[in-house]
Chains A and B, each alone.
Chain A
Amino acid sequence: MNTSATAESIVASPETGFERPNYLNAEYGLRSWLLTRDHKRIAILYLISVSAFFALGGLFAMLIRLELLTPEGDLMQPDTYNRVFTMHGVIMVFFFLIPAIPAVLGNFLVPIMIGARDLAFPRLNLASWYIYTLGGLFVLWAMVNGGVDTGWTFYTPYSTSFSNTHVVATALGVFITGFSTIFTGLNFVVTIHRMRAPGMTWFRLPLFIWSHYATSLIILLGTPVIAITLLLVAAERVLHLGIFDPRLGGDPVLFQHLFWFYSHPAVYIMILPSMGVISELVAAFSRKRVFGYKVVAFASIAIAVLGFLVWGHHMFVTGQSIYAATVFSVISMLVAIPSAVKVFNWTATLYEGSVSLQTPMLYALGFIGLFTLGGLTGTMVATLGIDVHLHDTYFIVAHFHYVMVGGTIMGYLGGLHYWWPKMTGRLYPAFLSRLSALLVFVGFNLTFFPQFILGYLGMPRRYWSYPEEFQVFNVLSSAGASVLGVGFILPLCYFIWSMRYGKRSGDNPWGAVGLEWDTPSPPPTENFYTVPVVTHGPYEYNTQEVHARTSHPEARVG
């Protein structure tokens, strides 16, 4: 395999502190960043935006948990509470969970992992970021002017005919941002099809790529539907062109069909990239190839396809026919299978692997456990009879936070910690990073496990007050949220700290195998000094060869 080891030895080694030309120092100045076409710089731009939105969404979460410390509604008006949870949902779903891994890690790594110089359409990539920012500005404007109170799901007829909040601005913001995602997905699909390096056949691709490919297919097929649906909501509000208006014979449930046709696959947009990260982490930190590579690859595609056939399970109690509900319920059971298969295969990868519990691996292990819980509770609520009782309770809230936070965010953090040296050439403090991982895990479970119990006991979601007997679980949940918050803030601090003061990582601090590790950290603008020629599959871990690659074999990296 072609490596840049020669390049590394020619130029001064990291210990001397000499900065080789790389994508970060290739050009300086704001213009060089804001007008960049380099996928790596665009990934960093996204990292900043996405982190800002995450912080904002987190602030709203904090307000929710503060209000719910006491049974009475005493922190804010009920109307305000509606706006708070809506903004939390809108920001977290559309401006964090959906873009985070694809736009940050995907943008950075997809070209490098397949041996290309950049994505197929670099200018479109930059446009994606600007479009994302524009959509974000619409939502921020709406937020500052009082927000929206419809819930992130914008159900009609409340959103079209009755809500007095900035529905149109928010809907337009989400509409615009949808195009950002579409362009990213489009870019990934074309890049993966057409720009693989010589020898990089489909079954030599890292599973990270397979996940992002499947994700991109979902993006292209699903996002346009929510785009037009939100446009219809705006049209109904502004122009009185009533499609969902019952007074005109319209059916509000049609809105739900169109909304969930996208929004269910959207959750697979959120989880598939994270699963791709986990595959990489599990392989790297077990020093072993992923068990059942082809099965895991096809499982990603299966999740993408089946994910489009289950949307009605969000509508069991809203007026769908029982027949349709049953069909959706049965297929929902099916879609759990490929996800479960992945969990089995990751576990089998760990078995008899040389496991090292570095920080990224802590997140990966956390993911495997928490995603399993989240996924299993998903099949519970996909069961019609159970869902009648659990729908719109805290059980649902707990379920989706287990998969979104315990799943997606753990994968995101694990990936950030794994590829941080690749992206920045720096290491972060090992102790602090492990502590954060622990805080996230503990804090997360403390926040959300009590919510399963609350939901089961009957506490509805989106309510700003609750009966006294639920308080103990709510207090536990809010306490957990504080711990979780600390767990999120710490990486923000030490990552920024590491940019200037972190120890230089060398090209491959983990001794991992993959095209991205065969190029310097941080990579040069063109990614590779010579086009790689691929001669074998991913995850070819051979212990002796790997030790030779590792630049700091003795160092405890993190």
Chain B
Amino acid sequence: MASTAFDTHLEGPHGAHGGHHHPSLQHQFDSLEQQKESSTLGMWMFLVTEIMFFGALFTAYVIYRSLFHGVFATASHHLDVTLGAINTAVLIGSSLTMALSIRAAQLNRRKTIVLFLLLTILLGGTFLGIKSVEYGHKFHDHLVPGPHFAPEDPAIQAVADKAQVFFSLYFIMTGIHALHMIIGIGLLTWLAIASWRGRFDSTYYTPLECTGLYWHFVDIVWIFLFPLLYLIGAHAR
């Protein structure tokens, strides 16, 4: 029944075979399988918190759009649909490269993992670059809410107070989205370095999987942000 008193190498049904432990197996887990399933579930739980985090902003958007329907459409004109669409395409591409980097790990192709991670970083960086260009335009056009809000468009001037709510939401939502992208790029950089050093292969690529989930989620947020911010007034030009 009980083994000797101080045997701290626990044996369990999931236990290792013949005392051999995979170097990436953490001590609280009985198997790599359990570790991977736990890590993925954990990342999904975190993504649920992200759904609610961004979700509250979407809630504010829904409320104010209901209250100021016309103003939101007018204000939305001032966002560049072309740049927004390009950014959407860039992000979709980065999701593809992310998925392919995980696939490369599953196929034990070390260099391919790194290649696709670098592509993902490049595309993510492109997104942020285009975003900063857009922000620059807004600063230039005095469309940043606050004491320096000075729109030239008379249609906006007439409803400057409510238009500022739109632009506040624009900056906050895309700003927090961009912050998530920056964090994502940081994670991807660390993963690229680790992949180059051969850390991941078909037996263990959990951090890639988890970061992939995070990255795809950030893509999904943009999938909703783009039409809701950029396209709501596009037809009434």
B172, A254: Cβ atoms under 8 Å? no
- Chain A positions within 8 Å of B, measured between CB atoms, are 2-7, 10-11, 21, 116-122, 182, 185-187, 189-191, 193-195, 197-198, 220-225, 227-229, 232, 235, 239-243, 247-251, 254, 257-258, 261, 524-526, 528-531
A223 to B49, CA, bound (A): 8
CB pairs A–B below 8 angstroms (28 shown):
A10-B4, A120-B42, A185-B45, A190-B38, A194-B37, A195-B29, A224-B53, A228-B54, A232-B60, A240-B145, A240-B146, A241-B145, A241-B168, A241-B172, A243-B60, A243-B165, A243-B172, A248-B164, A254-B63, A257-B59, A258-B60, A261-B56, A524-B8, A528-B10, A529-B3, A530-B2, A530-B3, A531-B13
Q: How far is the CB of B87 from chain A (nearest CB, A)?
A: 21
Q: Are A194 and B168 in contact (CB under 8 A)?
A: no
Chain B residues near A250 (CB, 8 Å)? 64, 165
Contact of B5 among A11, A121, A261, A531 (CB under 8 A): A11
A121 touches B42 (CB 8 A): yes
- CB <8 Å contact, B168 and A118: no
B6 at the interface (CB under 8 A from A): yes
Chain B window 4-27, contacts with chain A (Cβ cutoff 8 Å), 1 for yes, 0 for no: 111110111100000000000011
Asked if B34 lies at the interface with its beta carbon under 8 angstroms from chain A, I say yes
> Does A242 lie within 8 Å of B165, measured CB to CB?
yes
Min CB gap B213→A, angstroms: 14
A2 touches B34 (CB 8 A): no
* A-contact bits for B138-158, CB 8 A (1 contact / 0 none): 000000011100000000000
Assembled-state Cα–Cα distance A240/B60 (Å): 17
- The answer on a CB contact under 8 Å between B52 and A224 is yes
Query: By CB atoms of chain A within 10 A, which of B6, B7, B28, B42 has the most?
Result: B28
Q: Which residue of B lies closest to A11 (CB)?
A: B5
Listed in ascending order, the chain B residues whose CB lies under 8 Å from chain A are 1-8, 10-13, 26-29, 34, 37-38, 41-42, 45-46, 48-50, 52-57, 59-60, 63-64, 67-68, 145-147, 161-162, 164-165, 168-169, 171-172, 176
User: In chain A, what residue has the closest Cβ to B8?
Assistant: A526
**B175 CB to nearest chain A CB (Å):** 9
Taking A117-B27, A229-B56, A529-B2 as contacts, is the C-beta distance between A242 and B168 under 8 angstroms?
yes
User: Across the interface, do A6 and B2 meet the contact criterion of CB distance under 8 Å?
Assistant: yes
Q: Across the interface, which residues of A come within 8 angstroms of B2, CB to CB?
A: 2-7, 529-530
- Taking A10-B5, A195-B29, A220-B45 as known contacts, 14 extra A-B pairs with beta carbons closer than 8 A to each other, sorted by chain A number, are A117-B28, A187-B42, A220-B48, A228-B56, A235-B172, A240-B147, A241-B145, A248-B161, A248-B164, A249-B162, A254-B63, A526-B8, A529-B3, A530-B10
